Structure 1
Amino acid sequence: MKISFSPCPNDTFIFHAAVNGIISDAPELDVTYADIDITNHLAAQPDGPDILKVSYAALPWIQPDYALLPCGGALGRGCGPMILVNQEESTQLDPRKLSGKVVAVPSERSTAYLLFRLWSAQNVPNGIGEIVVLPFHDIMPAVRDGKVDAGLVIHEARFTYPDYGLGCLVDLGHWWETDTGLPIPLGAIIAKRSLDIDATIHWIRQSLEYAWKHPQVSQDYVLEHAQEMSPEVAQSHIDLYVNGFSRDLGEEGYHAVHALLTRAAQENIVPPIDVEALRWDRS
């Protein structure tokens, strides 16, 4: 079975036991490790992998033979993307002055980008000047070196941006939670409907439960794929992005996904989508 997810610690932590044959119910997995911008586009292709980790923001473009699973993804509070600028500017720059500026983003089909677009529609009257898509690990150096005016960052950048001499202009997660009262939908797990979906959900949850019960077992695997991340940062990443929503989205999680995609469609950022039709465990 072909599966694609990112090399980020939350994904490798969740899927370690399944990938390495520890979960007897899991099929043999052929893994492709890929940045979220790559998996988002793979999901839009008719010959994409059987199971993928994608951004919730990419759901309007996925192939109709995929179903949204209630487990294995990333959704939570206090874990949203941030807009970074050089540290000296972060305490002086009015967000409205991003008008006409160049901003680097990790993907145009990411929750981070959707939140950025929704926030900027309210707070940057004349609009952003130019959007540049860069791999997320290149964004902070680009801001530091003055190649772009600001950068939209995700993942472990929440913990490491001061090392680059950068400051946070806006925490978009805080903005979203304050504005809606809802958690932030970040990464989703989708699977082809031709699979035994209930069995797939079962072994993903088994892999997650094993990781929680035996966190040390996956450490070498996590760090191997963590792009030279320190063990401390990798653990902070896991603690932030792997939570109860990773086991089960629940109605609150689905409501957050619906709210994000509905608001984005109303702003003509994404096509309209019926989230209820996409979810596998609908009643």
Structure 2
Amino acid sequence: MKLTLGFSPCPNDTFIFDALIHHKIDTEGLSFEVSFDDVETLNQKAMRGELDITKLSFHAFAYVIEKYALLHAGSALGFGVGPLLICKKEKAATIEAQLKAENYELSTGIPGKYTTANFLLGVAYPNLTHKKELVFSEIEDALINEQIDLGLIIHENRFTYQDKGLHKVIDLGSYWEQLTGCAIPLGGIVINRNLSTEVQQKVNRLIRKSVEFAFANRKSGIDFIRQHAQEMDEAVMYKHIELYVNKYSIDLGQEGRKAIDTLFAMATKHNLIPSFEQDLYVPS
């Protein structure tokens, strides 16, 4: 049985899926047709129901719950892993003063409308509405070229912005952690609800095995990871992996599900996402 699978070219995703798609583990009769896309493209594909299995942001998941269920393996949650709101260093004092004065005429580059990063931005700065959607890797340059005043960065850009003369205004992950006491849910792996429960559970089991293999053989997928990484320095790639791939990626567990449930409850309360009735998760 062949299933379509979408995930990003970022090191955390290629680390997770390397063993699965390269048959380093027994795939139990399943094969996968893989597509690599940035997170917002994956979100849009999920909206259209194009893939059997896909990575997507938890914010986007709120809009496709009728089509997809969340797997217990493969998610990106954690502490100290949230998106950063940044600006040019020489403009930092002025911009921070404007934010404190609630002057929300500032323009902000975001990595996509349905990213969890944008959801957190909305929670922290609800009136910061002048937004420009950009591919996440283009946000730093847009700031440098003064096409935007603020940039919302994710993925490996967390580790490179300072080298480009850019300044951190706020860590939205830390903001979330202080607000809720929970890990920040960034992205998860979902599967089409039309597939049988047996297939859903098998895919969940295989992704868990793929993550476990990656942890046990950390250098096994280095060529695959480097092939797709935006930042080619190996130390940066593994720093990225260590930040986003952890115990929650093996299995959400009670703590992981609590964080996701808190995110969805808060988003529903503030009318940031549609209400829903479906169970979020694949049956365990």
- Cα deviations across residues 83-102 of structure 1 (Å, max 9, x unaligned)? 00011333552333551110
| 1:247 corresponds to which of 250, 253, 267 | 250
Matched, 1:108 2:110: no
Matched, 1:222 2:230: no
Structure 2: state its 5+ residue gaps.
none
Helix, strand or coil: the match of 1:277? Answer: coil
Distance in 1 of aligned mates of 2:113 and 2:256: 22
Provide the aligned C-alpha RMSD in A. 1.6
| 2:100 corresponds to which of 80, 96, 99 | 96
Tell me which residue corresponds to 1:280. 282
Distance in 2 of aligned mates of 1:242 and 1:91: 35
TM-score by length of 1: 0.93
Distance in 2 of aligned mates of 1:257 and 1:272: 15
User: Is this contact kept in 2: 1:262–1:272, CA < 8 A?
Assistant: no
Distance in 1 of aligned mates of 2:130 and 2:119: 15
Tell me which residue corresponds to 1:65. 67
Q: Which stretch shows the higher mean deviation, 59-68 or 243-252?
A: 59-68
Tell me which residue corresponds to 1:178. 178
Distance in 1 of aligned mates of 2:188 and 2:243: 16
- Cα deviations across residues 46-84 of structure 1 (Å, max 9, x unaligned)? 4x1110000011112116232111111101100000100
Helix, strand or coil: the match of 2:54? Answer: strand
Distance in 1 of aligned mates of 2:63 and 2:160: 32
TM-score by length of 2: 0.92
- Cα deviations across residues 141-164 of structure 1 (Å, max 9, x unaligned)? 111111100000101111111121
Q: Which stretch shows the higher mean deviation, 195-204 or 180-189?
A: 195-204
Matched, 1:238 2:241: yes
Distance in 2 of aligned mates of 1:175 and 1:63: 26
Q: Which amino acid aligns with 2:249?
A: S
Q: Which stretch shows the higher mean deviation, 96-105 or 85-94?
A: 85-94
Distance in 2 of aligned mates of 1:81 and 1:117: 12
Helix, strand or coil: the match of 2:168? Answer: strand
Q: CA deviation at 1:228?
A: 4.1
Overall identity of the aligned pairs, in %: 36
Q: Which amino acid aligns with 2:107?
A: V
Q: CA deviation at 1:187?
A: 0.6
Q: Which amino acid aligns with 1:100?
A: E
Q: CA distance change for structure 1 residues 63 and 262 in 2, over 3 Å: closer, same or farther? A: closer
Q: CA deviation at 1:178?
A: 0.6
User: Is this contact kept in 1: 2:65–2:280, CA < 8 A?
Assistant: no
Q: Which amino acid aligns with 1:237?
A: H
